[in-house]
Structure 1
Amino acid sequence: MLTYERKTPLDLDCGITVYMKVLGAKWKPCIIDMIDKGYQRPSEMHRYLKEATPRVLDMQLRELEAIGVVQKNQGPGFPLKANYTLTDLGRSLLPVVQAIDTWGKTYAGQVKEAVAYTE
């Protein structure tokens, strides 16, 4: 099994680096927002975010769980049904995710124009 070895040390004394470690992947802010809105099962998230592959969403859910942002809960029976909830750490990120969403909605038109111009 191959393991990843960092070439440079991770500076977790920098707030922006900490933010990037927690929310820096493409779908992590969306995952946190979806869980807050009630999409707690991976299959629900996959249906809601059609652009993201199930594999990528599952990988990012595992990373968020490892950091302590989400908690995985499995119900009894077979097949196993997992759902995710936000931890206290995850709930503390909601104002950040909401601020990102507000910024995106505010500047969406300007960004769309710039993207159309550069493509």
Structure 2
Amino acid sequence: MDTFTDSYADLSQESHCAVEATLQVIGGRWKVLILRELFGGTQRFSALNRALPGITQKMLTQQLRELEQDGIVHRQVYQQVPPRVEYSLTSLGQTLYPVLKSMHEWGKTFLAATSESKS
């Protein structure tokens, strides 16, 4: 067996559920981009909103709530006027860094390969 076949065997039906779980947590247009911003450190809602052009406040709120429910993001509310809310990655959320880094590297390879084929 070659390395690809060996690696593919790791994605058997049993581990396929793990891939689905990962996609459930980080899937969609915005979650990976939110995570990218939070890898840089704690962010306020308004900073996240500015960093993600095209996202509505409603969608950002929804995506942050889902990430919080999954234990990926921590929401800290400061009791002051006006209220201040900050978001950061939990220790579980920080473990997604290598996953996103791999996605970034694959994306660069893909873009290079597809731009060469269009030339």
State the 4+ residue runs in structure 1 displaced beyond 6 angstroms. Answer: none
Q: Determine the C-alpha separation between the residues in 1 that align with 2:60 and 2:87.
A: 12
| Aligned position for 1:103 | 106
Residue 65 of structure 1 contacts residue 72 of structure 1 at CA under 8 Å; is this kept in 2?
A: yes
Unpaired stretches in structure 1, ≥5 consecutive residues? 1-11
Give the one of 53, 68, 74 matched to 1:65: 68
Aligned to 2:43, the other structure's residue is in SS state coil
Give the one of 79, 82, 91 matched to 1:79: 82
Give the one of 43, 51, 55 matched to 1:52: 55
Please report the TM-score for the alignment, with normalisation by the length of structure 2. Answer: 0.76
Q: Determine the C-alpha separation between the residues in 2 that align with 1:39 and 1:51.
A: 21
Larger helix proportion, structure 1 or 2?
2
Name the count of aligned residue pairs. 104
Q: How does 1:23-62 map to 2 (within 5 A)?
A: 23-38=26-41, 40-62=43-65
1:38 deviates by: 2.9
- Let me know the Cα RMSD of the aligned residues: 2.3
Q: Residues 39-84 of structure 1: CA distance to partner in whole angstroms, max 9, x if unpaired? A: 6111111111112222111100000000100100012311111111
Residue 44 of structure 2 contacts residue 85 of structure 2 at CA under 8 Å; is this kept in 1?
A: yes
**Identity across aligned pairs (percent)?**
35
Please report the TM-score for the alignment, with normalisation by the length of structure 1. Answer: 0.76
Flag the 1:82–1:95 CA change in 2: closer, same or farther, 3 A.
Answer: same
Flag the 1:109–1:13 CA change in 2: closer, same or farther, 3 A.
Answer: closer
Unpaired stretches in structure 2, ≥5 consecutive residues? 1-14
Query: Max radius of gyration: which structure?
Result: 2
